[in-house]
A = this chain, B = another copy of it.
Amino acid sequence: MGLVFLFVGKTKEGFIKEGIGKYLDLLRKNKIEVEVRELKGSAGTSPQKAVEDEGEAILERVLPSDFLVALDERGMLAGSVELAGQLGALFDSGRRVIFAVGGPFGLAEKVKARSGLLLSLSRLTFTHEMARLILLEQVYRSITITRGRTYHY
């Protein structure tokens, strides 16, 4: 089992980087193989073109056997326990799970179409950097829930 986080654009905000690093460490301490890839944001001639280019760069990294989770504001609004159940089943399947988080203009339709799960973190709109941090925290939480560990608040 392995997890890959594909983020469009570099994480610039210091506190976000630090928080992401914390959850990556915690995942690795739990023997989860995890990798973060920051893909270059496209300097396309229009937001539409940029999103298309970024979508291609994402899909180039997705193998046919991978399970793709795409973050999208119109996706499933899960609760933590429900999300843990879904992710737990995925983790148990042994498939590699890829989480794709778009840049400021979101993800291309072809990425959403390829995904097995469209996930929304909240009805609130977060910056795409905050979305990364929240996603990492929730994936870590999911793993502690499915493994029955106490999550320290």
* Cross-chain contact A137 with B126 (CB below 8 angstroms): yes
Number of interface residues of A (CB under 8 A): 30
Residues of B within 8 Å of A138, CB to CB, are 124
A103 to B65, CA, bound (A): 42
Spot the interface stretch: A26-34, A54-62, A77-85, A93-101.
Answer: A77-85
**B153 and A127 contacting across the interface, CB-CB below 8 Å:** yes
In the bound complex, how far is the Cα of B15 from the Cα of A83, in angstroms? 25
Q: A77-B122, A122-B122, A130-B137 are known contacts; what are 9 more A-B pairs with Cβ within 8 Å?
A: A15-B16, A15-B18, A77-B123, A78-B123, A80-B123, A121-B122, A121-B124, A124-B134, A130-B134
